[in-house]
Homo-oligomer: A and B are copies of this chain.
Amino acid sequence: MPATNADLFHKTRLLTPGPTAVPEAVLLEMAQPIIHHRTKQFQAIFKEVSEQLQRLFRTAGPVLTLAGSGTTAFEAAQVSLIKPGAKAITIAGGKFGERWQDVYNAYGVEQVQINVPWGDAVGPAQVEEALKANPGVSVVTMCHSETSTATAADVRAVAQIVSKTDALLLVDGITAVGAMPVEMDAWGIDVLVTGSQKALMLPPGLGMVGLGPRALKRLEEVKPGPCYNLDLRRWLASWKKNDVPFTPAVSLVRGLRVAMAMIEAEGLENVWARTAGLAAATREALEAIGLKRISTSPSDSVTGVFYPEGVDDSAFRGGLRDEYSVHIAGGQDGRGAKWKGKIFRLSHMGYVDAGDTLAGLSAIESLLREAGCVSVGAGAAVAAFAGAMA
C-alpha cells in the first residue's frame, strides 16, 4: 500500500480496540424496522441471544444483557455482589483496573489494592497472599485483558485460587470474551463481564454479565446495595422470563443475534485462533521495524508498542487517519503510568482479517519511514507479518 487512501474512496479500516468494525450484515439487521420489546417476537430474539451468549461465555448460568457500556455492566456486578461493609481486593495494572478501583471508591468500599506496573500481569501468588492476609474479603476484581496496556493476565490460575475462598472473582473480560480462550464454568469464574463494541462486533451500547453458581447464591444472600438500575437482581428476575426490567436497546440486541451467529458459523475456537494469529504476526511485524512492546504479557486482542523517539502521536495517528483512513488508538494516562503520546495500539478483535491488518501495518511503516524512524528495508513489517501468517 504505497499510495495513500485519502484521494480514493476513504475505505476506512478501524483497528481501534473498541469500537471495532461492525459487519455489514449486522448493520443491515440493525436497520430493520424497530419492534416493541414486550412482544413474543422480541422475547424469542432475546432468548436466542441469551443462549448464544451462554455458549460464548462457556457457561450454563445466566448471561444478563444490560443497556449501557461495559463500565455499566462491571459497575453493576461490583455494587450488586459486594457484601455490605466487606473489603474488596482490586487488581490494577492499567486504566481499566484503576477504573474498577475508582468505582469502589465512589461507593466507599474498603479496598486491598494490588497495583502492578503498567504492562505487567498480576502474579497469581500476589492474589493468594492478599487473600490470606485479608480473610474477610468479599470480591476480587481483575482485568483479563487490560486494554490500556495490551496485557493479558492468567485468569485461570487466579480463579483457581479465589474459588477456594469465600470471595467472588469478578473478571473484566471486555476485550477478552470472544477474542481469546475464556472458559467461565471450567475455570470457575464467578462473574464475567463484556461489552458489545469489542470482539462481539457491534456498536457500543450493551454490556453483558455472566453469573456463576456462587454469584447467584451471593445475589440471594446480600441485601441490595445503593442502586436501582444496576441492581442485578432485577435483571436476573427478568432474564428468567426472557425479558429485561427496563427498555432494552432493541436494535442492538437484534444485531447481537446476527453477530453471534457469525461467530458460531466461524466456530469460537477458530475465532480465537484467528485473533491469536493476527496478534502474533502483528507483534513480529512491529518488532521487525524496531518497535518495542509495551507489555511483558501481551494480550492477543490488542497490541501496543512504544513510539520511537521523536514521533508525535497526534500527527502520526492523524496522518494514518487522513492519508490512509486507518484508525488506531494512542495511549492513556492513569495513576500507574502516563502513556498518552507515548504508545500506540491496534486491535485484533472481531471483524478484522489479515488484509485489514496488513493495510494498517503498511501504513504505519510508511509513516514511520517518512519520519526517519525505520532503518530496515521497505516492506519489512508486512513481510514479517506475511511470514508469520504463512
Point out residues on A near B: beta carbons under 8 Å: 12, 14, 16, 18-22, 27-28, 30-39, 67-72, 75, 79, 102-103, 106-108, 195, 197, 203-205, 224-231, 246-252, 321, 327, 329
Q: Is the CB of B67 within 8 A of A205?
A: yes
- The smallest C-beta distance from A197 to any residue of chain B, in angstroms, reads 6
**B-chain residues with CB within 8 Å of residue A205 when the two chains form the complex:** 67, 205, 249, 251-252
User: Bound state CA distance, A106 and B75, in angstroms?
Assistant: 16
7 A-B contacts, Cβ less than 8 Å apart? A21-B34, A22-B251, A30-B31, A68-B72, A68-B229, A69-B247, A107-B227
| Shortest CB distance A89–B (Å) | 18
Contact (Cβ within 8 A) A247 B204: yes
B247 to A70, Cβ gap below 8 A? Answer: yes
Instruction: With CB as the reference atom, state the residue of chain B lying closest to A29.
Output: B31
In addition to A20-B34, A30-B251, A106-B228, 10 A-B residue pairs with Cβ atoms within 8 Å of each other are A14-B33, A16-B36, A22-B34, A30-B203, A67-B204, A69-B247, A107-B227, A204-B249, A226-B226, A226-B227
A154 CA to B315 CA in the complex, in Å? 54
- Residue numbers in B under 8 Å from A34 (CB-CB): 14, 19-22, 197, 203
A104 to chain B minimum Cβ distance, whole angstroms, is 9
Chain B residues with CB below 8 A from A35, complex form:
12, 14, 19
Q: Is the CB of A14 within 8 A of B36?
A: yes
CA distance A31 to B29 in the complex (A): 9
Give chain B residues whose Cβ lies under 8 Å from the Cβ of A68: 67-68, 72, 229
A21–B329 Cα distance when bound, in Å, is 36
Contact of A71 among B103, B229, B252, B329 (CB under 8 A): B229
Q: How far is the CB of A177 from chain B (nearest CB, A)?
A: 16
Q: With contacts A106-B231, A228-B106 known, is A31 near B33, CB below 8 A? A: no
A225 to B329, CA, bound (A): 33
A226 contacts B106, CB within 8 Å? yes
Among A12, A22, A34, A249, max chain B CB count under 10 A is at A34
Among B70, B225, B327, point to the contact of A36 (Cβ < 8 A). Answer: B327
Once the chains bind, are B226 and A108 in contact (CB under 8 Å)? yes
Is A39 a contact partner of B204 (Cβ separation < 8 A)? no
